[in-house]
Structure 1
């Protein structure tokens, strides 16, 4: 037997990463990635700190300089990083925020009302990943300076990243500010390429886009980009006094014409969330104030551009504010379309979000305290309360825009564009679905009596199993041929409760149902291949109709049970009576039982209205015209259907066993005991 060395694991095997060492060990955790995006994110963190000063009204200019030696410099004319000594740590404010993770002025909520930074990680992470990091603060008439190497404070004996470094803590005062010189912060750093992938580099175009976007979002601040090109310094200035309106004009495709003017939506609201107080204790239902600013317009094109920002930080993947915006525009536009006569034809579906967004260019910007993001890179906002705030603000003002006399004509043009987009989308979908259905059915002979629909898949399609050929005529004229299919059944199908599988499949009506559904039967039934999303049993509202429904439910329960288990089998609820009032403004009401009819008649007569008598009673679906059948039984928005559940299946099994089973004695007892329940006057003789 060979001895194996024992592997020991003790306290000395544990590693504790102190200070900024954790950032250098796992940079991707703090800056999102170690490719070119990570390098750009370093600059973003520094620029965002300067932008926060501008948002608070303390800075009016931010200058970014890309030096020829690879260093990057950001200057602002804000208040400057605090230079006083922090009582608890004994460090200057500058050294504290640049060498300690989770240190900054954005936690308590007093220094910054709404900030893009909330973890106190950004600037210190840049410092940790830099060969050299110089900071100059102009404050209280003095010029303060400090340098760092990989996050450690010290002094360099010359310019550049390769100068000799001597560790030393403390903030130095270089001299006094010049007359007329503004306060502010200047940061220059040389990032260490060893922490990034081999081909990673700063993307100047991304820097330019970042500064341009921020200038749109903070119209009171001017952003300047300086970069070395062939030994000379080029300069670009970004300043947009009209803010988001200018941004929409910039983002909109140059080759499309506007359908509407740019609509600027500004508002605020409150929401509640669980948040920690200054001592770190979690408090529930803390009230927050949110500011919302949205600019949007529609163009003649088909592309949609929706940019989202939180406290000037771009959220590439949107988030909770985008979800609130989407819900708001759909709700407001759909309501306006429904109120505008002549836009939609009867039976046309309401446009969807895709239709509303077609040709739209929009910018969403929210300012909130202590925003929550899904990651340190802030690509997606996760603060849940903002959804309801932006929904209320955008929906209310967009609704007012569609109704205001001054903008009603412009709004109607937009509504027509949305409806047209919906129609084009549906036509294209029908063409695709028709092609798919043709391919799927090639070589498969469907029953000739099947009146199929054009669409395929289970998202909307539904199959009506219709009692009798007479009802088929009205149903054929009433249905929406895009997604409603019809299969007429002659008489009553076989009672499968007692029949064998062979006898069951020999029955012509049952064979047609199995063939049309296309999923097999019994043990081989495969729900995933079913050709329709719903199966609706449409039988007369009489005893025979109830019997037919019971037989069909039993068929599905025994040989196609997954349809019921998945909630895809329904029974239509056709009306039994049609109550009509006399006079110029005649009313029509449909009722489903004798008692309901009598109550409705009494209600109308008590209101002083005359009733057409005798009250018509439908003896079958075939007595209804197409419009009546559509309104009462087939229109998804007005019909009543009953979902068949397993409880219904058990009741159907018991009823069939009692009324049609082999045992005669239980049936005779039931008939005798139930005879008193028969209303003799209601029997047709």
Structure 2
């Protein structure tokens, strides 16, 4: 390793100017430098043309893959401005292709709702291209500008463009040149570029299949837009292998036609179209006339356009878009869509519960989404994406707006009075309920087989007092301290779904013990065997035989120590069980106060769970003029309770209190277990000494 200098001054600081930063860290802007990044650059140029069509300017886009490795995108939009931008003194075309965060999509009124909101698309593509040529038709003239790796200039190519032709940087005023005349009224932009092989990996190539899919998708999302793809590369394995291949996409039916195209199965419902809009406010920085930024509250309009239909199958096909930009990883708009569907379906099924024979079961999202084909497109100005690659929408307000539109429109559709609409609504509700019943039936069968296999293939510990239920979600395993507590708990439990496993004293501290010692320990082995999901890396939380594992130890120091040892075992060897929130600690009472009611009525029993609560309860009773029997009973262990008392206070779900064990910070939990239960004594001693002054002597049970 080369040693570094000790000198560190301002000379060592690097300042990357303009597009230099893009070439230095291309992954920040296009995700990667393989084929995905190469395609992302192409999407940026295509999306600029699509945004023109969305704004009502232009009806066609041509994409040409040339044999020399270049790609060309042509449109008939308004053309990139060629006049001087006053703040920079550069032509609009040079600003767009050389300046980061510059363009017509920052709230200036040129575009109302677009996907490209960061203003880096064209300039990033330019920076990562060995050569980029752009021609603009405006004002009956054809303008041209050429760049080498983002620098404007001129190539000496004698009419045959090539990326390796001799290049000379342009002066301040001759970068943009007029190269011809355009017919009156004809406007448009043509961009041709050669990706820089100094940046992209040698095997990076334009994916024709992905390009066709994107073009087809765009033609559905922008009805009437014509997209033509021509492949002149003759690349092996592509449709154009034998010669020039061309495809044209144009769909006037929009999202409805798109859903029909995507749907893989026979229809249960027609394609339903849900449209709506709403507005929200957000505080954003806005540039004033002098170019200064100030925070202002602005109103944003959000338009929602959804097409969906249910089919007879089980697969779910959902495509989501923001300003026609695909969001393959979803976002707030997709969350709102799913929430709106589930909320409305639950409401409709609850209203028809008797007719559909639903019972007390509730449908889940998967029941509603089964067989669904949907396209969700929202349009809003300046959406918040997570990253330049725009795969996830982050605008919070979109969730509520989309959910509201879906709830209203789906509810209206299901309540429609037409004969066909009523029939489709009934078939849809029956399908969703059938999916729910099928899911529940499959789960019950699976759990029955799991419990059966566990009992048949292994000998359960003889001290296990199992429950009768095969419903894993409802079943509970109580780990009790000793045979005395087991006897009381056996009488107090609900034997249908509550199982008991007694442990003797304090189990092994597995933080300090080896895996072999842990498995050899009878108590640890019994716990792992009874839970039935394995241990360590092979632990499968879905194979656990109980929905809840409850540690029910005495309310004293020894009980707390046993509970800590059990938690160490769960954390070290069954952590997914803890992460799933299925490990609990019972909270038995410390005291029982018998309040004398008089008048021949039975005395009232009041339970308290701490010394402070006991004193507050006694003061309250004295203030109310109520008498209580003395001495007050102090429970030293669960075995001192009657079965009725234990059931009422600790085991009955209707009255008990459980503490769910959570791991909010895995690293902090790891440090805590290592400190408190690990083999290193010195750090633990230091921790005890340093925190000794925080000890409340009144809390010690002596």
Common fold: TM-score over 0.5: yes
Question: Hey, what's the Cα distance between the residues in 2 that align with 1:283 and 1:420?
Answer: 52
| Structure 2: 5+ residue stretches without partners | 233-239, 508-522, 532-543, 568-580, 589-600, 602-606, 619-627, 637-702
- In the TM superposition, residue 419 of structure 1 has moved relative to its aligned partner by 0.7
| CA distance in structure 1 between the partners assigned to 2:189 and 2:228 by the alignment | 15
When normalised by structure 2's length, the TM-score is 0.69
Q: Is the 8 A contact 2:490 2:500 kept in 1?
A: no
Alignment of 1:246 with 2:245, yes or no, is: no
SS in structure 1 of the partner of residue 273 of structure 2: strand
What is the CA deviation profile of residues 73-112 of structure 1, one whole-angstrom value per residue up to 9, with x for unaligned ones? 1011111111100111111000011011111111124111
Aligned residue for 1:268, secondary structure, equals: strand
Does the 8 Å contact 2:477/2:500 carry over to 1?
no
**What per-residue deviation string (whole Å, max 9, x for no partner) do you get for residues 168-214 of structure 1?**
142111122135x6201110011112212232211111111111111
Q: 2:304 maps to which residue? A: 292
Distance of aligned partners of 1:58 and 1:559 in 2 relative to their CA distance in 1, 3 Å threshold: same
Matched, 1:182 2:186: yes
2:423 to 377, 388, 409: 409
Distance in 2 separating the partners of 1:36 and 1:220: 30
Is residue 522–residue 560 contact of structure 1 (8 Å, CA) maintained in 2? Answer: no
Match of 2:163 in 1: 161
Match among 224, 233, 241 for residue 220 of structure 1: 224
Q: Residue 426 in 1 paired to residue 446 in 2?
A: no
Of residues 428, 435, 460, the one that matches 1:444 is 460
Q: What is the distance in 1 between the residues matched to 2:449 and 2:555?
A: 32
Cα deviation for residue 283 of structure 1 reads 3.4
Q: Deviations over 1:584-631 (max 9, x none)?
A: xxxxxxxxxxxxxxxxxxxxxxxxxxxxxxxxx9xxxxxxxxxxxxxx
- How big is the shift at 1:116? 0.7
* Among candidates 171, 182, 185, match of residue 176 of structure 2: 171
**Counterpart residue number, 2:394:** 382
Q: Does the 8 Å CA contact 2:61/2:75 hold for their aligned counterparts?
A: yes
Normalising by structure 1, we get a TM-score of: 0.71
Which structure 2 residues correspond to residues 453-468 of structure 1 after superposition, within 5 A?
453-456=469-472, 460-463=473-476
Q: 2:410 matched to which residue of 1?
A: 398
Paired with 1:568 and 1:410, the residues of 2 have a C-alpha distance of: 49
Is the Cα contact below 8 Å between 1:46 and 1:122 reproduced in 2? yes
Deviation (angstroms), 1:567: 6.3
Counterpart residue number, 1:210: 214
CA contact (8 A) 1:274 1:282 kept: no
> Bigger CA drift: 147-156 or 346-355?
346-355
Greater shift, 168-177 or 352-361, is seen at: 168-177
- Aligned residue in 2 for 1:7: 6
Q: Which residue is 1:581 aligned to?
A: none
Residues 432 and 146 of structure 1: CA distance in aligned 2, closer, same or farther (over 3 Å): same
Please give the alpha-carbon distance, in whole angstroms, between the structure 1 residues aligned to 2:371 and 2:241. 41
Provide the rounded CA distance (Å) in 2 between the counterparts of 1:231 and 1:339.
Answer: 61
Of 490, 507, 510 in structure 2, the residue corresponding to residue 509 of structure 1 is 490
Give the whole-Å Cα distance in 1 for the aligned partners of 2:328 and 2:245.
Answer: 29
Secondary structure of residue in 2 paired with 1:516: strand
Q: CA RMSD in A?
A: 4.0
Number of positions where the alignment pairs a residue of Structure 1 with one of Structure 2: 541
Deviations 1:366-391 (A, max 9, x none): 00110111110001111111101001
Go from structure 1 to structure 2 and tell me whether the alpha carbon gap of 1:6 and 1:235 turns closer, same or farther (over 3 Å shift).
closer
Residues 269 and 444 (structure 1 numbering): CA distance in 2 closer, same or farther, change over 3 Å?
Answer: same
In structure 1, the partner of 2:127 is 128
User: Which stretch shifts more, 260-269 or 167-176?
Assistant: 167-176
Cα distance in 2 between the residues matched to 1:127 and 1:519: 71
Could you tell me how far apart the structure 2 residues matched to 1:560 and 1:208 are?
A: 61
For the 8 Å contact 1:337–1:343, the answer to whether it is kept is no
Moved more, 522-531 or 218-227: 522-531
Secondary structure, in 3 states, of the residue corresponding to 2:198?
helix
Counterparts of 2:502 and 2:315, CA distance in 1? 40
Q: Is the Cα–Cα contact under 8 Å of residues 118 and 371 in structure 1 kept in the other structure?
A: yes
Displacement of 1:423 after TM fit? 1.1
- 2:277 matched to 1:277? no
Q: 2:40 maps to what in 1?
A: 41
Structure 1 gaps, min length 5: 466-486, 488-495, 537-548, 572-616, 618-643, 664-685
Residues 474-513 of structure 1 aligned to structure 2 (within 5 Å):
503-504=484-485, 509=490
- Report SS of the residue matched to 2:36: helix
CA distance in 1, matches of 2:65, 2:53: 21
